[in-house]
Amino acid sequence: MKEFNIAIIGATGIVGQEFIKILEQRTLPIASVQLLTSDHSSGAKLFFNHQKLEVAEVKPEVFRNVDIAFFFAGAEISRRLAPVAVEAESMVIDNSAAFGRDTTVPLVVPEVNPEDIKWHKGIIASPNAPTIQMAVALYPLHKVNPIKRIVVSTYQAVSSSGGVALQELTNQVKLVLEGRRICPHVYSHQIAFNVLPEVDVFLDSGYTEEEQRIVEETRRVLHADDVAISATCVRVPVYFGHSESVNVEFSSPITPGEARKILAEAPGVRILDDPTVSFYPQPWAASGSNHVFVGRIRKDISHPNGLVMWIVADNLRKGAALNAVQIAEAGIERGWIGLNKRLAGL
């Protein structure tokens, strides 16, 4: 079996570190791993498969020896270095927002649209976490009964803002309990014991960039440009795990029972749905899991063709690191992602 030289850009960030854990658990054929960073954390040492590896600064020349480069360092770094990697004949799988709107770059959730990997030109993009978990849950239903409209409200954990946000939540909780004054840094307002209907910057439309991104990415992943979508994204004082309240209008009526039966057989989905015993998805319980959890599936009493459901997933795993690994696995399995020809001497 072919083995691949892997580079992880942004290895010291919380998504990069989660990616390393997942890579150890999966069966991706690996010849070597380079841990890279774009910031001051070069020189740090991290473990991979019981070996201590030094984190190096990412420079253009490193891509000459790389088959697949996984980018977890933010859009600015991806825009600058992904084309350099492609020029060196490395395959790029990008986790940032850099290429989400670029229709020449496949945007992939492997349970939904793996066939899009085939037409890549050196870069494959992974959607943002709210898009991924909603697409995994809705696509099996969409195949059976095409979706006409989605209204989603997200409840997003602070970990998607990085390690500094995790620390800020911890610090603020301590200050509140001690009755001391809070001066927020990561977010516009206090996040401890609070919710903020502001994820990313506001646009002229009144929606935020995150909300607009969910609309555009969901349409691209589902191959459904005509689906009407409206999103409201809320930051909540939760460390890990995004939750979503989703109202879906289908082309024809569908019962909760029919939806549960379809989702029970869907890849990557787990149903937790028995409200009589308070059994439903929770971000605390979903943390550390690779699955997308769906519960509280019920008839939308405001529309004859509607369902309402509650969707939860670990935003660092399926919402980021795991999806990137699955893209590579799917591409390699189908022969759409190969070795660096220059490195292989082809």
pLDDT tens profile 97-151: 999 999 999 999 999 999 999 999 999 999 999 999 999 999 999 999 999 999 9
Q: What is the pLDDT of residues 269-294, one digit of tens each?
A: 999 999 999 999 999 999 999 999 99
Q: At what angle do helices 256-264 and 129-144 cross, to 10 degrees?
A: 110
> At a CB cut-off of 8 Å and minimum separation 6, what does 271 contact?
260, 263, 264, 293, 294, 295, 297
pLDDT at 50: 85
Between CA 208 and CA 197 the distance in angstroms is 9
- Contact indicator for 71, 96 with CB cutoff of 8 Å: yes
Q: Which of 152, 137, 289, 309 is nearest to 234 (CA)?
A: 152
Maximum Cα interatomic distance, the chain, rounded to a whole number of Å: 66
CA–CA gap between residue 106 and residue 94 (Å, rounded) = 10
Q: What is the pLDDT of residues 136-155, one digit of tens each?
A: 999 999 999 999 999 999 99
CB 68 within 8 A of CB 42: no
Number of residues written out for the chain: 346
Q: Which residue matches tokens 């890579």?
A: 23
Chain segment 189-228, per-residue pLDDT in tens: 999 999 999 999 999 999 999 999 999 999 999 999 999 9
Q: How confident is the model at residue 38 (pLDDT cuts 50, 70, 90)?
A: confident
In order of start, what are the domains of the chain with their CATH numbers?
Answer: 4-98+320-344 (3.40.50.720), 131-315 (3.30.360.10)
pLDDT attached to residue 49: 87
Q: Is the model's pLDDT at 181 over the cut of 60?
A: yes
pLDDT above 70 as % of the chain: 97
